[in-house]
Amino acid sequence: MDAISGLLGGFAALANPETLLYMIGGFLIGTFFGAVPGLTSVLAIALLLPLTYSLDVTTALVACASIFMAGMCSGSITATTINIPGAPSSMMTALEGYPMQQRGEGAKALGHAALGSMIGGSLGALLLMVMAPLAADVALLIRTPGKFSLIAFALIVIIISQRGSITKGMIATLFGVMIATIGIDVVQPLARFTFGTGVLVQGIDMMPLIIGTFAISELLVQADSRSTRTVDPSMIKAAKVRRRDFIPPLSEVREIGALRYLKSAVIGYAVGILPGAGGSMAAFVSYAESMRSSKHPERYGKGNPEGIAAAECANNSMCGGAFVPMLTFGIPGDPTTAIVLGVLVINGLQPGPQFMTQQLDLIAPMFASLFVSALILIPLTLYLLGPYFLKIVSIRRDVLYSSIAIVALVGSYVATYSTFQMALALVFGVLAYYLRKQKYPTVCLLLGFVLGPSLEEYCRRALSINDGNPLIFFTSPDSLFFIALTVVFFYFMVIRKPKDNGLGTRPA
């Protein structure tokens, strides 16, 4: 009963004009960053991170949630109209949306994408509200050896989900773990890897790492491009959409069917819970399942609304699932939830099994923001701004990237009022640029950095309570469960690799 009233209180918190303003502002920012090719909602949230020092934690979380939701659906705009997915999660939408655009049904494709996102996002948020307290109860059963095995499981799954570049995923993750060991030891008061400098004793802050990895490296990558605008203006003229065509015909919605929407939402939510999977994996799995179970699989790839609905429903539902491991175990599975974890840590909060009950008043507005963003803001934004989306995202690159540079660098300064943090952001930016050029997944770097300290702490604590005997990890039932789960995942994802499904593409 307390949980229900707490969750309803979250919706009431959105009635606060300031909170509401941040939710709508966050949604619009997320829409813009998700729609502009090359920018992502992760970058938007990364740029927001420094501002959370001055923001109320609830407001910051509400803004993060709406950016997350908006970023997942807005990638479909450029994917449909000009065949350039604004975000990796919209790759499958491009497969169906662009053929529809070519036969003059672009607005309808966007309508199907928005409807799918709306249904998926709302169901994902509802599932989060229902399932997260249950997951928190389960989390209470996990003891120290189990926590180590759980984090190891998360890291291993993140690494092996980097198909075709597992070694690179492993290197990036371990490098993140190494960076996290700089500073005071997690168990005893001993400074490590400071190389005689006082500035490293406190360790590396998450903010310069995030700003460097996602914002500065993006500036360096974009500096190679010669175009002056983010989207070629000639493409905009050829891709006009009218507002009245946005509403998808009821007959097509019926043909897609409630079951397909529901199944896609559940798939997206489940994929979201998995570490390292993300929106593109959710969209891919759901799309493949939709094609498999369709009465007309031959229509896929030629502009089938079913494919758009399945992909968009799943990638927005994923948003709800992604919060479950972060809030209940303190284990983020993707960069967005890792940054949200950073927002919590900046405000002195540490997620864990009791977090859901003890701090429900703080996070319930975030759940509400996810739900409201999906149910109201997605269709409303499409209807009001839809015809102008392409003009909005076709922005001058010099203005866009100069603005990003200022927000990123001055934002790094905010934490300690020192240019050292700004310099660190630049160093990490250059490092991430090299890694990105060689296709090392920088997401793994961030997750290794975030999860590394907990991995070390639980490993050492588990061994110290068992006189250094590593058998504790195999005799403790919860730990054994996660080791078995790791073996199962390793078998299915590495040894018995999933087939290509004939889609001609794989999730990013």
Supply the minimum distance, in Å, between the C-beta of residue 361 and another protein. Answer: 24
- How would you label 378-390 residue by residue, b for 16+ Cβ within 10 Å and e otherwise? bbebbeebbbebb
Nearer to another protein, 460 or 506 (CB): 460
Binding mask 430-459 for another protein (x = CB under 8 A): x--xxx-xx-x---------------x--x
Supply the minimum distance, in Å, between the C-beta of residue 400 and another protein. Answer: 8
Q: According to CB under 8 A, which one of 1, 2, 17, 54 is a site residue for another protein?
A: 54
Q: How many Å is the Cα radius of gyration of the chain?
A: 22
Contact status: 102 vs another protein (CB under 8 A)? no
Judged by CB under 8 A, the number of residues near another protein is 64
Nearer to another protein, 292 or 396 (CB): 396
Distance CA 491, CA 508 (A): 20
Contact status: 163 vs another protein (CB under 8 A)? no
Supply the minimum distance, in Å, between the C-beta of residue 6 and another protein. Answer: 29
Q: According to CB under 8 A, which one of 405, 480, 493, 503 is a site residue for another protein?
A: 405
SS3 of 200-231: the string is HCCCCCHHHHHHHHHHHHHHHHHCCCCCCECC
Distance CA 104, CA 154 (A): 44
Nearer to another protein, 87 or 415 (CB): 415
Supply the minimum distance, in Å, between the C-beta of residue 50 and another protein. Answer: 9
In DSSP terms, 183 is beta-bridged to 192
Within a 13 Å sphere around the CA of 69, how many CA atoms are in the beta-carbon half? 40
Contact status: 11 vs another protein (CB under 8 A)? no
Query: Are 148 and 462 spatial neighbours (Cβ–Cβ below 8 Å)?
Result: yes
For the chain, give the longest Cα–Cα distance: 71
Binding mask 217-256 for another protein (x = CB under 8 A): --xxxxxxxx-x----------------------------
Nearer to another protein, 29 or 136 (CB): 29
Q: According to CB under 8 A, which one of 193, 388, 474, 491 is a site residue for another protein?
A: 193
Contact status: 153 vs another protein (CB under 8 A)? no
Supply the minimum distance, in Å, between the C-beta of residue 208 and another protein. Answer: 12
Hey, what are 208's tokens?
């310069």
Contact status: 20 vs another protein (CB under 8 A)? no
The gap from C-alpha 71 to its chain's centroid, in whole angstroms, comes to 9
Q: Which of the residues 195 through 214 are near another protein (CB under 8 A)?
A: 195
Distance CA 122, CA 371 (A): 5
Contact status: 374 vs another protein (CB under 8 A)? no
Q: According to CB under 8 A, which one of 192, 296, 302, 497 is a site residue for another protein?
A: 192
Distance CA 245, CA 259 (A): 25
Contact status: 291 vs another protein (CB under 8 A)? no
Contact status: 490 vs another protein (CB under 8 A)? no
Supply the minimum distance, in Å, between the C-beta of residue 447 and another protein. Answer: 15
Query: Which residues lie closer than 8 Å to 11 by C-beta, 6 or more apart?
Result: 364, 365, 368, 371, 372
Hey, what are 245's tokens?
């065509």
Q: According to CB under 8 A, which one of 216, 253, 375, 451 is a site residue for another protein?
A: 216
Nearer to another protein, 202 or 228 (CB): 228
Contact status: 508 vs another protein (CB under 8 A)? no
* Residue ranges in 191-304 assigned as alpha helix (H): 206-210, 217-222, 233-237, 250-256, 258-273, 278-293
Instruction: Tell the burial category of 50 from Cβ atoms under 10 Å away from its Cβ (0-12, 13-18, 19+).
Output: buried
Distance CA 265, CA 323 (A): 15
Contact status: 467 vs another protein (CB under 8 A)? yes
Query: Which residues lie closer than 8 Å to 381 by C-beta, 6 or more apart?
Result: 27, 28, 31, 70
Nearer to another protein, 131 or 221 (CB): 221
Nearer to another protein, 316 or 454 (CB): 454
Q: According to CB under 8 A, which one of 18, 137, 298, 398 is a site residue for another protein?
A: 398
| Amino acid, single-letter form, for residue 360 | L
Contact status: 414 vs another protein (CB under 8 A)? yes
Query: Which residues lie closer than 8 Å to 439 by C-beta, 6 or more apart?
Result: 165, 168
Nearer to another protein, 138 or 178 (CB): 178
Hey, what are 476's tokens?
């403790």
Instruction: Tell the burial category of 27 from Cβ atoms under 10 Å away from its Cβ (0-12, 13-18, 19+).
Output: buried
**Residues in touch with another protein (CB under 8 A):** 51, 53-55, 167-168, 170-171, 174-175, 177-178, 181, 185, 187-188, 190, 192-193, 195, 216, 219-226, 228, 396-399, 401-403, 405-407, 409-410, 413-414, 417, 419, 422-423, 426, 429-430, 433-435, 437-438, 440, 456, 459-460, 463-464, 467-468
